Amino acid sequence: MSTALDSIVNQPYRAGFKTDIESDTVDKGLSEDVVRIISKKKNEPEWMLDFRLKAYRHWLTMKEPEWPNVKYPKIDYQDIIYYAAPKPKATKKSMDEVDPELLKTFDKLGVPLHERAALAGVAVDVVFDSVSVTTTYKEKLAEQGIIFCSFSEAVKDHPDLVKKYLGSVVPHTDNFYAALNSAVFTDGSFCFIPKGVKCPMDLSTYFRINTQDSGQFERTLIVAEEDSQVSYLEGCTAPQFDTNQLHAAVVELVALDRADIKYSTVQNWYAGDENGVGGIFNFVTKRGLCKGEKSKISWTQVETGSAVTWKYPSCILLGDNSIGEFYSVALTNHLQQADTGTKMVHIGKNTRSRIISKGISAGRSNNSYRGLVKVSPKAENARNYSQCDSMLIGQVCGAHTFPYLEVDNKSAIVEHEASTSKIGEEQLFYFASRGIDPEEAVSMIINGFVRDVFMHLPMEFAVEATKLLGLKLEGSVG
C-alpha cells in the first residue's frame, strides 16, 4: 500500500519546458549601477529611480530572515540576473503580434489566452519573465474607468496614482525581500477600480519564470476606491530547471470605504525534483490595507509549487467594521518546504477576520502554518476565527502550526481551532474495502479536505485548482 501511496504522490512535474526566446539581460549581480540600469532600461521618471535607490540602500543594511521553519542553501545575491525581458519588437496591439513561441508556451500550460479570455470573460495581463507582453480587454475596462495594465505602463501613464499608493502598504523598509523587490522590480500589474464601479469580470494575470538564473521580482498594486469591487486572479507555473531561482514579489492592496477586493492565487511553480534539486524559492510579501470603513479584503491561495515558500498574505484592518479573510491550501511533496500563513491586524472598531488554512504534506516535505492575529488597544469588539487543519500523506512528512495571538483589547473574541488527519494505510484500506482504489480514495479525501477553501475560489479557478491537486497527487497504482 505504501508503494501505491508513493506512486500517487510522486508524479513528475508536468509543466517543465523552456521557451526559446531571446532575452535581453543585464549581467549578474546587484549594485547601485544595476538599479540605475534597470530604471533606465524602463525609461522611468526620476521619482521612480529615487524610490528604487532608497530601497536598495536600505536593503544593504538588512539581514535575511532566519526565523521561518525552512532550510535552504545561502543565496548569493551577486549571482542573480536582475533584469531579463523578452526583446521588444514594438508595442503589440493584438494577439497576432505576440511571439508565436510565447503563445505555444501558454498552450502547453493549458492557457489558450485569446480563447480563455473571450470564453471566460477574463482579461489577462500576461507577464512573461518580467515584462508585460499583452493586455487584453483593456479598452473594455477603460470604458468604466478601470485601469488594468502592466506596472511599467502605470508608472508612465498614471504616475500620480502610483506615487500615491506605491509602498503605502508594504514600505520599502518592511522586510529584506520587500526591500530587494522595491529596488529591482522589473514589472508587474497595476489595477485601479474607481469609485462605485463593480469590475464586470475577473482580472487575471499569468506569471511565468522563464530565463534561467533570472530572479523574478514582480510588483502588483491594486487600488479599489469607495464602493468598488474587484476579483483578481493570479496563477503561476514555471519550467523545470536545475538551479534554484529566487522569486521575491510584492503585492499591495488598498481598499477604501466599502470597497471589496478578492485576490485569488493558484501557484504551481517548479518545486525541484524528488531529491530536492532545483525549484523556485518563493519569498513573497502580500498585504492588503482595509483603509476605509466597511471595506473587505479576501485572500484565497492554493500553493502547490516552489521548493521553498515563505508567504503570509495579510490584512491590516484599519477602517471600522472592515473585514479580512484568508483561505489557504498549501500542498508540499518530496522535499518541498512551505512556511505560510497570514497576519490579521485589527486596528479599527468592530473589525472581523477569518482564517481557514489547510496544509497537505506528502513525501518528505515540511508544511508550516504561521499566523498572527493582533488586536490593538483601540480595536473594540474585534472578532477572529481561525481554523488550521493539517493532512499528512505517508509516514515521513511534517506539519507544524505556529499561531501567534496578541490581544490588547478585552472586548475581543478570538477563536482558534486546529486538527490533524492523515491518509495512511487504514484510510486507504477503508476505501479499498468498499471497492474504491487508492488513487480515487486519495483524490476524494483531498478534495473533501480542501472543500472549505475551494468554495471561495472563482468557479473557473476552482476547477483548475482541483485539476492541479489531482495532477500533483495522481499516478498509476501498480
Residues that bind other proteins (CB under 8 A): 1, 389, 419, 421, 425-427, 429-438, 440, 444-445, 447-452
Least gap, CB of 396 to other proteins (angstroms): 18
Helix 2-9 with 438-454: angle, nearest 10 deg? 50
132/328 with CB nearer other proteins: 328
Residue 350 is classified by DSSP as T
320/389 with CB nearer other proteins: 389
Least gap, CB of 462 to other proteins (angstroms): 15
Name, in order, each residue with C-beta under 8 angstroms of 439's C-beta and a sequence gap of 6 or more: 4, 8, 474, 475, 477
For residues 227 and 258, the answer to whether their CB atoms sit within 8 Å is yes
Question: Which grid cell is 52?
Answer: 528604487
For residues 103 and 117, the answer to whether their CB atoms sit within 8 Å is no
Least gap, CB of 141 to other proteins (angstroms): 37
Q: Is the dihedral of CA 114, 192, 188, 87 positive or negative?
A: positive
Closest CA to 439 of 468, 471, 473, 464: 473
Half-sphere CA count of 38, side-chain side, radius 13 A? 32
Closest CA to 133 of 161, 120, 116, 114: 114
For residues 285 and 314, the answer to whether their CB atoms sit within 8 Å is no
Least gap, CB of 446 to other proteins (angstroms): 9
Least gap, CB of 444 to other proteins (angstroms): 6
Give the SS3 label for residue 443. helix
Least gap, CB of 449 to other proteins (angstroms): 5
451/467 with CB nearer other proteins: 451
Least gap, CB of 39 to other proteins (angstroms): 49
Residue 92 is classified by DSSP as -
296/358 with CB nearer other proteins: 358
227/389 with CB nearer other proteins: 389
State which H helix or E strand residue 437 sits in: none
Least gap, CB of 478 to other proteins (angstroms): 10
Least gap, CB of 361 to other proteins (angstroms): 16
Angle at CA of residue 161, ends 203 and 149, nearest 5°: 30
259/356 with CB nearer other proteins: 356
Question: Which grid cell is 172?
Answer: 520599502
Closest CA to 132 of 202, 219, 232, 200: 219
- What are residue 400's DSSP bridge partners? 368
State which H helix or E strand residue 367 sits in: strand 366-375
Residue 187 is classified by DSSP as E
Query: For the chain, how many helices (H) and strands (E)?
Result: 12, 23
Least gap, CB of 192 to other proteins (angstroms): 38
- What are residue 151's DSSP bridge partners? none
- The residue whose grid cell reads 485572500 is 299
Least gap, CB of 469 to other proteins (angstroms): 13
| Alpha-helical runs (H) found in 312-402 | none
CA gap 355, 393 in Å, rounded: 23
